[in-house]
Structure 1
Amino acid sequence: METAVTKKNEKTRNVILISLSVLILILFLILLQLSYTILKSDKVYKGVYADNLDLGGLSSQELKETLNNKYKYEENNIKITLTTETTETTNKYKEKHSLTDLGISFDIETTANNVFSIGRKGNIFERLHEIFSTNFNDINISPEITIDQDKLNNIVNSFHEKTFVPVKNPEIIFDNNSVIINSGHHGISIDKEQLFNEIIRYSKERKNTKISIPLIITPQEKFDLEELYGNICTEPINATVRVVNNVMTTVSHKVGRMIDKSVLEEAVIELNKGDNITKELPITLIEPKITEYQLKANMFRDNLGTGKTYFSTASQYNIDRNENLNLALECIDGVILAPGDTFSFDKTLGERTAEKGYKSAKVFSGGKIIDAIGGGICQVSSTLYNAVLRSNLDVLERHNHSFIVTYMPAGYDAAVAYQAIDFKFKNSTNWPIKIQGRTTDANELVITIIGTNENPGKTVEFYTQLVKTTEFKTIYIDDPQMAEGKTVIKQNGINGYVVDTYKIVKQDGKEMNRYKITTSVYIPLNKEVIRGTNKSLPQHTDVRDPDSQEPSLEDDADLQDPNPEDDTDLQEPGLENETQDQKGTNVDSDTVDPQDTVDSSDTADSQDAVEPPDAVDSSDNTDNLDSNDKPNSNSIETISSQVEEEDNS
């Protein structure tokens, strides 16, 4: 049973609960209103600072004005001093810049936003927590910094340029009879990237600061005695010429120098001790053998050597052949070679074509005599070869003909064939040389090499020795259309020979050296005879159509021997005459190989041959014939290899 006390207590408890509920509700409403008011505030919350400057309670505009005043002052008044370290050889350098000068500024807008954002991020509870926290723990905001990269780089580069000292390496200067040697000096520089980063780092501290930049020392090169001695001492260099497209230009001489090495060594020791040390030392000048003045005064002064051969104008064939000869002669006439230059007959003439005016004439090919464009020019190359021998120049390439030729003694000819075999020689003198070619009214082909003979007492002579003779064979060709007993010579025979050519070098008439320069191998040309086998025809009667007959040497004027009445004696070099059957074989053309390769550069020739020179003396530098000599049609024409004692077979 409830008592009155119990009822009273229950009533009291209910009143208390209701009162507390109302109070809590009131407090909640008050707190809610307060929170709303705080969250809706447009001021900086209490406890927010920027660089220890209290910004609480400031509006957004007031905040920006306050920050602008503070940081603009710092931009213009905080100074950063840039300085270099002192070294033994350089003084300290320094310069002072404001943050504005350095391109460093404060971002007022961003900094203000950062300050104003305190208490305004996250949900309601996060915001309230941060707002109430600032009442107990202040928040200090650092300003945002903006860097003008170009402006700062300009300051850094300018500082680098003002402190930079380039390395000056040692140098030598020649002054008449002395050499001036300077040790040079070391270089100085700074690390620009390091300076850039240091400026940014110290600018964030926003206080007057000195940045000390270490110097980078780059030492100059030191003198090396042997290298310096080699640079000072030089051999004299003769004046010379340079030839391009046959246009000659003079290259000046250079004076040589010498120095006392012991004196130089003492100087090097002193020079390597420090910077900007100078020594002047005496040197000896050495004049070259050929100065520019001497070169111009003595250039093309002497006739070094002459080659001479004869040609014929007796027939239309010879006229065509001589046109080829003259075309080739025009190509080489006037050619200039500087010292050390190489002459190539093939390169100088180029391809021999009808478009260039070359005619068809006899050539050697595959052991036969045929017609081809450019026949006859081997007489030019052979005559030039003899001029080269007499000029005592270095022969680089030379080949003999496959058969002997009539215009040049055995061992002295030079065959050429476009892009197959060439004649080459080198200007082995210290002076430029020039080739001069001409023909005379006496049907002489004369080639002379002019230059400068530095040793007139030195002469060269040449002679040949017959090593071997290979007799030709007679081949008979039966012809049923020709009467039995009748014969016609289709091709006369030529013996083959192996001939060695020797060179004698003399000084003032005394023999200094004798050696073989070439071995020339000539193959035999078989004699071909057509003989009749028709017994029904009267003897000595030929019923064939003359146009269909093989030409005989008696009927072929271009191949006719100068003495067609009987077989011609061929004089072997160094031996007595040996009777040979050589009618119509006075052919100057060459063969490249036995595979029917046509040598279009050489032809058959009906002119007389030149007597082979026995021990030609180059002291007079001319061929052993003069214009009044009669060519000997009985001499053997030979060719030799260009390499000393090398057998070119």
Structure 2
Amino acid sequence: MKKKKIVIILSTVILITLVFTVTFCLNFKSTKVTTVSNKVYVGDLNVSKQSKEDLKNNLNTYFSKKLKETSIKFEVGDYKENFSLDKIGFKYNVDELVDKALNVGHDGNILTNGIEQISSLFSSKVLEAKPILDKDVFDAFKATISKKVSKPITNPNVTFLNNKLSISGGKSGVTLDESGFTENINKLNLDKNNLGNLSCTIPTKEVPVNISPDIVNKMTIIGSYSTTINHIDAGRTNNIRLFLSKLSGHVLMPNETFSCDKTAGSREIADGYTSAAGFSNNQVVDTVAGGICQGVSTLYNAVLYADLKIVERAPHCMAVTYIEEGRDATIASGNIDFKFRNNKNTPVVIQCYVNQGTTVVANIWGVNDTPNKKIEISVEKLGPNKTKTYKKTLISGKVTKTEVLSVDTYK
């Protein structure tokens, strides 16, 4: 009986000691670590016994070299090109890897740390090092690839006759499938054993240009505006007519953005333009292609009435005579543009021309799927040289939306 009591007491003491020991081990944390443990690798780089500063510098050097030396072959059709991982946007999270390496054998409790330290005497601890994508760099890379593989549509032939239009011909374009491209990049196996043999197919999608006869037959003028040529000048009128001829007949597919500057192309003497009055440094001077902004302003207002999405528009530095302040638009080759996007579900067609040498006309043709909708444009004077321009959308005569288009200041 006495022996039994002693056994019970000893068992109790051992149990209590064990409980306290385990509790202590589970709650005790190691002191701050300054060097990496033995036999620790980041990828295939041995980082054992390195200080935090040395570790970070060595990892940055090591991965920078790896990113530059490792490339991926991109291909679609006849296009093939290699790009290094750093150009694509891949990088390594060095700070995270530094913390992980320093914490090997130190990030648990005494019990688990002890086991890990003992195991390091016999085997290595390898930390996985896999590159991640830097979004900004990758977005820029996607834009580069898009330019290399995209093919613009060949605009169909458009004829305007007796308030009707006909469309024929044209060729579809090609553009980068951005979501598919991102998905293909994310699927790449960037394991260290595969880094020498990587390839990626570039997915593309067709930009259709064919328009069904049914859609063409339904097209009417959905937005129109005209301005008067106040100062008859043969050179200026010629410039406007030539400029508008480059824009007229352009078919804009759903979600496509139209650029006046890009579509009109070069505007020099060699292109048939002449010198005429225009703005430069807040002064009226003769400039090559002077006067074309009257065409831009007229088109801008037709686009507003067609209820298309304005992407980019800038006013003149000074007020012009052919249109109300706050309703003008200007362009400057390579610097200032007028852009708009077809936000409809069906194509639209641009028509613009000089009528009888005295009037600039701009029409937007499309399918009028909301015949009870009306757009109203108004300008509020905020002072002698400042305006605020509003756009109201009315459905069946009732205002459903009012928006500020711009606040403009003139010299």
User: TM-score of the superposition, structure 2-length normalised?
Assistant: 0.49
User: TM-score of the superposition, structure 1-length normalised?
Assistant: 0.31
Structure with the greater alpha carbon radius of gyration: 1
Q: Which has the higher helix share?
A: 2
